[in-house]
Structure 1
């Protein structure tokens, strides 16, 4: 398939998957809060813009939980979406490495961009927001009393392993399915994948919208993007 047609299809697919992931993320918070008896209904989330990923909130009153000493509940509610994203990534990579999905290229295509949307969230939370003091990781750190360094170091190790498997095993399969002999399409897949994972959902957003020294974490996304495009260039994946 030509680079431009597949690029357009991939962007549309990703935007749909991103919207699904954003909604699922907030419902994971609210569902855990409902299970623990901290919300009357899992439907009580605050809806935002699924394209820009702004305005969303799980609707959980964390300050009430901390004031009442329900720190374990706060930790579980705050951290559970990261577990959800990790499970989707792990299962998705496992499926893409198997034979069944490799024989169904459009199903493979959908799973691939779903995994990209979930990996993007993990990169944003582990590499960009571990030291922010707020958000899901900040709530988990506050509730458990652990240093954000533990989340950053352990999360980075697991994330680096998942990214290696994804770029080294899953992406070349997608390239072979849709561009076995088409180098421009293979490059388009690589560049779009790296851009979405490291810049769209994390690096660019942090540098543009975060004030103070925290914006420097966005440079991690820039460096990771450059490294991915260099290390996993199509010539290395034949």
Structure 2
């Protein structure tokens, strides 16, 4: 009896009958196994939108800083006006027009004469005026963090990015009051201490 033709290789044992049946058809091939081979490291790819967003970071930061700081200062001013220790709520100090004043709002101030108000015994007015600024930042933080969390829900990357930094800067403003200014001998926290006699 004829022994079956049995080439050994990737296909195992194959008979002559198998070869006849397979005529006209592509013989099955066995894919090389990569089991155990280390996977190639994937190189992260960033879209052009991501690069544009990173390039716009300075503008986004400045805008977030403006919309966090300006309401802070105007709320000081309007609260002083409401309590009668300031005549014009729209008159605030903008600094001296330097680059730092324009870009970083370094010289901005609510332009409230706290010493005069304290000398006249308007301690409650001073306390409310001082509290109005950080209270605004606290409210903005809570709204942005919980009520309208666009920093994580917006489908527009630039909006989410802006609101993230707005959230951060409002929190930083609160931190700037407590604990940073607690030991200061001037400024809003000092005026608060003078008005409330807290120490």
Task: Tell me the TM-score range normalised by the shorter chain.
Answer: 0.5 to 0.7
2:67 corresponds to which of 20, 41, 50 = 20
Q: Aligned Cα RMSD in Å?
A: 2.2
1:54 corresponds to which of 106, 110, 115 = 106
Are 2:151 and 2:164, in contact at CA under 8 Å, matched by a contact in 1? no
Are 1:18 and 1:50, in contact at CA under 8 Å, matched by a contact in 2? no
**Alpha-carbon distance in structure 1 between the residues aligned to 2:168 and 2:55:** 16
**Alpha-carbon distance in structure 2 between the residues aligned to 1:81 and 1:114:** 16
**Alpha-carbon distance in structure 2 between the residues aligned to 1:139 and 1:9:** 38
Are 2:77 and 2:86, in contact at CA under 8 Å, matched by a contact in 1? yes
Q: Cα gap change, 1:85/1:50 in structure 2, threshold over 3 Å: closer, same or farther?
A: farther
> Which TM-score applies when normalising by structure 2?
0.66
2:149 corresponds to which of 87, 96, 99 = 96
Are 2:53 and 2:158, in contact at CA under 8 Å, matched by a contact in 1? no
Are 1:22 and 1:50, in contact at CA under 8 Å, matched by a contact in 2? no
1:110 and 2:157 aligned: no
Number of equivalences: 146
User: How far apart are residue 98 of structure 1 and its match?
Assistant: 9.3
1:140 and 2:187 aligned: no
Are 2:151 and 2:159, in contact at CA under 8 Å, matched by a contact in 1? no
User: How far apart are residue 110 of structure 1 and its match?
Assistant: 2.3
Are 1:75 and 1:143, in contact at CA under 8 Å, matched by a contact in 2? yes
- Give the structure 2 partner of residue 65 of structure 1: 117
**Alpha-carbon distance in structure 1 between the residues aligned to 2:149 and 2:86:** 37
Listed one character per residue, the Cα deviations across residues 114-168 of structure 1 (whole Å, up to 9, x for unaligned) are 1122122112221211111321111111110112xxxxxxxxxxxxxxxxxxxxx
- Give the structure 2 partner of residue 221 of structure 1: none
Structure 2's unaligned 5+ residue stretches are 1-45, 96-100
- Greater helix share, 1 or 2? 1
Q: Which moved more, 1:115-124 or 1:26-35?
A: 115-124
Q: Which moved more, 1:118-127 or 1:103-112?
A: 103-112
Q: Cα gap change, 1:30/1:97 in structure 2, threshold over 3 Å: closer, same or farther?
A: closer
1:34 corresponds to which of 81, 104, 107 = 81
Q: Cα gap change, 1:97/1:110 in structure 2, threshold over 3 Å: closer, same or farther?
A: closer
User: How far apart are residue 4 of structure 1 and its match?
Assistant: 4.9
Structure 1's unaligned 5+ residue stretches are 148-238
**Alpha-carbon distance in structure 1 between the residues aligned to 2:88 and 2:107:** 20
- Give the structure 2 partner of residue 120 of structure 1: 172
